[in-house]
Amino acid sequence: MALGRESGAVNAEADIWEAPIPVIDAARNPFARVAAAAPVAASNFGRICAVLRDPVEERVVLEIACSLGLEADPDAAEAAGLVTHSRWHGELWVQPRHELLGHAVAKRLSADETLAIHRAAGEVLGGRRGLRHSLAAASAVDDALLARVQDIARAVASPAQADEAIGYLRSILGLYDEGREHDEVLIEIALLAMRFRRQQLILDLMPQTEALPAGALTTAIAVEMLAVAGRIPDALAAAEDALGQADVPGTAQGRILAAHIAGIQAQFQLMTGDTEPIPALVRRARELVDAVLPGDTDAASARLRWMYTGDGQRMRLLGWAMTAAARAGDMEAFRAAFGELSMLIAQAEASPELVDALVTRAGVQMQSGDVPAVHADMLAASAVLVRAPHAWTAGHVRVILSHVEYLLGNWAASEAGAESALSLAMDVTAFTVRPVTHFTAALVAASRGGAATVGALLEAGERATISRHESYESSMAAVAAAELARAAGNPVEQLRACSDPALRSMVSTTHGWKTYKVEALAALGRVDEARTALADLRATARWQPHYGSALWLEARIEDAADRQKRAKALYEQAVADPAAGLFPFPMARARADFGRFLLRVGDADGAAAQLSQAAEVFTRLGASPDLERTLALLERAGGNGSAVPTDPFAALTARERQIAQHASRGHTNREIAEALFLSVTTVNFHMRNILPKLGLSSRRELRILAPTA
């Protein structure tokens, strides 16, 4: 990022991160004048708070001042506007009145003064708060400091703890010159990042990890780091160099590392799109997993034991094998892998490997059309993520679940899941899921006609694309763009969204774009082309009726061709199809089209019946563009648009709507907070706004107002 003393003009062609940011000198900072005018005792107190930065007990600041031989007055510091006090658990806490003020005060200190405060804080505070300051003050590593950091690193049990430990270890690393101690700390950092899928935090250390002495351990580190950096061919080559035709290693550590490297080699091979080598890679990896002896995990270094999980590794390998077989059309191998994987899933305890297995199974189930099974697997995976949040496919869980909720007509849940997925997108190690995270989040907005939101999300998804590797529903961007055009009643733009030749070569997709293509051609009256496109759709093995059934599409074509008898029969079949009824939004659109057709041929009563049912669904989903068109048709049919249930939450914002829908089901504020990944305080705040907006005085009235919301 470019920093400059003058803001100047920004080159329109420059990368966004190169835009110059004006730097305000400490002397020109208006906060600096506040600090300069304060009495000495107040200034001393404010300086210590500025270096400590975080809220701290007042007595701690006074103790630090005493150890430094400084006079400090907390009341004078507050009166001078340097700090603010608050009481928590019966004790006074202090912190800089403003972050910029704290920065201004700290910048006026010399390096020696800052180090002295850090050193004193490390001694006074103790624990992890003190450790941070001890590390900031250290100019060399002593045994006690190293032991404190290593104890924290060994006790890590979650990604958040891993982030903290990695930060401490990086401070230690910076104190070492190149050599054995430096390399050991670097390996410790890399292993923590690998275990808890935090490699993105240490990509800047790649030049150092690549310079580590050769060996099985450093190869395991290199393979994962290279893959996460997007250098898949280099990662695969490093894995093959380590494994090659070598025999099973003769040590416990060697066997565990070989099994791990072989497993991730198969995983990363899948990311290339070339699945031909995967069966052989999976066989070799399974042999190496099976070769790990019962006592090897106890005999190996404690920092490597997490790498061997036995059936957990077998689940992942079966997932890669199953996916490769499905893409190759080898149904015998697919069924064998699917059956064995399902048995292991049924017996598995909560683990990152279980999440990955559920996601892999969901991917093939989606392409086979078993959406309820996908929904069940993703709900199970979400529950497992609470205990094992560091799965490779954690990001996929949120994306797939959001997509499925959209298909099933649970749009509030889809929006909440998409928001969660977006907020965590940059934290996931599997960078290939980042684009589809944005594309999936665009679906509900597209159906509601939110052009600006959809455009921003599609653009963000393209920016997040590092690799063209297909992970999940690779044509999602085209589907979202086509859905937006359809909602806007623009078949020309809808057809354009489905016209990219690259869509045909995509593998990890149910080809929903083909549905939109047929619909657009029919809407444009290009009947012959629509029939050809429908035949192509029906010949596509992976196509699924998620966005509309083939019967409905055929009815649209016959409708456009003015073959009324045939069109009516097809529309009747389409709206009576129980399989299509699983997806309420496209079913409602089919009813709306049928109603429009019936109105055109003079059956006003039949039209009103179909249009009323469609309008009810559009109202519940908040699909305003479709609802407006349907109500206009209903009025022409002589129907009573006022009889269609109105949206009970029309006056609410999108977030308030989500909370109100949960509350109408009887959920508590805490349950709502957990479901929407919000704080209870935030939910409380919104609930206080929701009831008055709806003219209600109690949650009971909310349940009466919207019993089916």
Looking up residue 133, the CATH number of its domain turns out to be: 1.10.10
Q: Residues 376-400: what's their mean pLDDT? A: 93
Q: Do 204 and 127 fall within a single domain?
A: no
Q: Residues 617-634: what's their mean pLDDT? A: 94
What pLDDT score does 423 carry?
84
pLDDT tier at 643, thresholds 50, 70, 90: low
What pLDDT score does 2 carry?
35
The CATH number for 639's domain is 1.25.40
Euclidean distance between CA atoms 162 and 154, whole angstroms: 10
Q: Residues 360-388: what's their mean pLDDT? A: 94
Q: 670 or 562: whose pLDDT is higher?
A: 562
Decide if pLDDT at 372 tops 70: yes
Backbone angles phi, psi at 87, to 5 degrees: -110, 130
**Which of 119-128, 244-253, 293-302, 576-585 shows the lowest mean pLDDT across its residues?**
244-253
What pLDDT score does 657 carry?
80
**Which of 129-133, 365-369, 428-432 shows the lowest mean pLDDT across its residues?**
428-432
Q: 668 or 584: whose pLDDT is higher?
A: 584
What average pLDDT does the chain have?
A: 89
Q: Do 177 and 239 fall within a single domain?
A: yes
Burial of 687 (0-12, 13-18, 19+ CB in 10 A): middle
Decide if pLDDT at 582 tops 80: yes
Q: Do 638 and 692 fall within a single domain?
A: no
Residue 295, both tokens: 């006592």
Q: Tens digits of per-residue pLDDT, 548-578?
A: 999 999 999 999 999 999 999 999 999 999 9
Q: Do 623 and 677 fall within a single domain?
A: no
**Whether 454 contacts 491, CB under 8 Å:** no
pLDDT tier at 264, thresholds 50, 70, 90: very high
What pLDDT score does 644 carry?
58
Most confident residue range from 35-39, 433-437, 453-457: 453-457
What pLDDT score does 647 carry?
66
Exposure letters 186-225 (e unless 16+ CB within 10 A, then b): bbbbbbbbbbbbbbebbeebbebbeebeeebbbbbbbbbb
**Whether 318 contacts 336, CB under 8 Å:** no
Q: Do 464 and 530 fall within a single domain?
A: yes
Q: Do 628 and 664 fall within a single domain?
A: no
Share of the chain above pLDDT 90, in %: 70
Q: Tens digits of per-residue pLDDT, 175-216?
A: 999 999 999 999 999 999 999 999 988 999 999 999 999 999
Q: Tens digits of per-residue pLDDT, 31-84?
A: 555 556 678 999 999 999 999 999 999 999 999 999 999 999 999 999 999 999
How many Cβ atoms sit within 10 Å of the Cβ of residue 668?
Answer: 13
Decide if pLDDT at 265 tops 90: yes
Give the Cα-Cα-Cα angle 318, 400, 520 (nearest 5 degrees).
120
**Whether 513 contacts 478, CB under 8 Å:** yes
**Whether 186 contacts 171, CB under 8 Å:** no
Q: Total structural domains in the chain?
A: 4
Q: Residues 316-325: what's their mean pLDDT? A: 94
Q: Does residue 167 sit within a domain?
A: no
Euclidean distance between CA atoms 288 and 263, whole angstroms: 9
Q: Which residues are CB-neighbours of 179 under 8 A, at least 6 positions away?
A: none
Q: Do 323 and 416 fall within a single domain?
A: no
Q: 124 or 106: whose pLDDT is higher?
A: 124
Q: Does residue 178 sit within a domain?
A: yes
Instruction: State which of 296, 330, 364 marks the end of a domain.
Output: 330
Q: Residues 153-167: what's their mean pLDDT? A: 93
Euclidean distance between CA atoms 355 and 362, whole angstroms: 10
Q: Do 195 and 91 fall within a single domain?
A: no
Q: Do 585 and 678 fall within a single domain?
A: no
Instruction: State which of 298, 330, 362 marks the end of a domain.
Output: 330
Q: What is the dihedral of CA 557, 558, 561, 565, to 10 degrees?
A: -170
- Counting Cα atoms < 13 Å in the Cβ hemisphere of 316 gives 29
What pLDDT score does 96 carry?
94
Provide the angle, in degrees to the nearest 10, between the axes of the packed helices 550-560 and 527-538: 170
Q: Tens digits of per-residue pLDDT, 495-531?
A: 999 999 999 989 889 999 999 999 999 999 999 999 9
**Whether 543 contacts 510, CB under 8 Å:** yes
pLDDT tier at 4, thresholds 50, 70, 90: very low
Q: Do 466 and 446 fall within a single domain?
A: yes
Helix (H, G, I), strand (E, B) or coil at 6: coil
Q: For the chain, count helices (H), then strands (E).
A: 37, 5
Q: Residues 656-666: what's their mean pLDDT? A: 82
- Structural domain that includes position 636: 410-643
**Whether 457 contacts 438, CB under 8 Å:** yes
Instruction: State which of 300, 330, 360 marks the end of a domain.
Output: 330
Q: Do 272 and 198 fall within a single domain?
A: yes
Q: Do 692 and 604 fall within a single domain?
A: no
The CATH number for 678's domain is 1.10.10.10
How many Cβ atoms sit within 10 Å of the Cβ of residue 145?
Answer: 20
What pLDDT score does 13 carry?
39
Decide if pLDDT at 311 tops 80: yes
| CA nearest neighbour of 331 among 360, 368, 377, 305 | 368
